[in-house]
Each structure stands twice: as structure tokens, then as C-alpha cells.
Structure 1
Amino acid sequence: MNENHSENTLDLSGLICPLPVLKARKRLAAMAPGAILKVIATDPMSAIDMPHFCNEQGHMLLEQQQDGPVLIFRIRCK
């Protein structure tokens, strides 16, 4: 997959609900449409909250993976 948009990374490790979603929302609001945000979180609730947030706000969740306690989301800004 060849993208013309750069990928931003937002490390939210250690933050608990609702902060990961709130901080991701703030960062996405400042990004250009089509840009990709990689979010790193450790709050287990993020596995539920982040997909729900993307669905509600119209962003596209490209990928969701887990590596031990670390959750990684790749989101395309609407």
C-alpha cells in the first residue's frame, strides 16, 4: 500500500479511559483528511473505545493489533 500521506504517531501509554480517545480526537482534528494516525495505548478499554470512536466520528480504523499489554491502532483521518 503506497500512501502519499505521512503517518503520525501518538503514544498514549499509561493513560486510562477516556484520555486515549480524547487525545486521539484532538490530534485527528488537527490533521489533514486522509492522513494516518498511529495510536499506541495500554488501557485495555481502548480496544473497545477506539473502534467505537472511529465509527461514530467517521474516521477509518485501518488496523488494530495487540502486542502484550500494548494496543496499536492505525486510523485514517476523515
Structure 2
Amino acid sequence: MLPIDTTEYDVFIDALEDRCPMPLLKTKMALTKMSMNGRLCIVASDEGSMKDIPRYIEMSEYIMEQSQIIDGVYMFVIRKGDV
């Protein structure tokens, strides 16, 4: 697992064992429950996450602060924007 300081985020989701579409569904569910300007970090190993999560964020009011892949692990940091 990536060395991640989970205290930097309001919500942290470990979806490393999940397959499509679960990482995206967990992301959507977490974001709807979060406060404005809250930060979510999700890590996933499913390849579909690399296109599904950014595509969803592009079509929403949420802001992708970080998107990276390290050793087959996809990491996304998303902020719930002011709407």
C-alpha cells in the first residue's frame, strides 16, 4: 500500500480489493455525504478506476486535486466544491 497520511483527508477509502464499479460507487456515495470543501482520498487497483473516476469528476461539481498511479495503485484526491 502507498504511504498515505490519511489524516490529511476528511474521508479515506481503501478500494484496493474492489472491482469495477465499486470504487466509483464508493466515491459517489462518500462525496454525497461530505461537507462542502471536504477532501476525499480513494485508492484503488482496478484499471477501470483510472478512467471512471476522473470522467465522473469532470461531469460534476467536484474538483480533482490529485490523480496518480504508483506501482499499479490509483490514487485520487477529490474536493467537494462550493455549489
Q: Identify whether the pair has TM-score above 0.5, normalized to the shorter chain.
A: yes
Structure 2 stretches of 5 or more lacking a match?
A: 1-7
Query: Number of residue pairs matched?
Result: 73
Map of 1:71 onto structure 2: 74
Q: Cα RMSD between the aligned structures?
A: 1.1
User: Structure 1: which 4+ aligned runs deviate by more than 4 Å?
Assistant: none
Structure 1 stretches of 5 or more lacking a match?
A: 1-5
Matches within 5 A, 1:20-35: 20-35=23-38
- Normalised TM-score (structure 2): 0.82
SS state at 2:28 partner? helix
Cα deviation, residue 43, structure 1: 0.4
Map of 1:3 onto structure 2: none
- Normalised TM-score (structure 1): 0.87
**Alignment partner of 1:45 is 2:52:** no
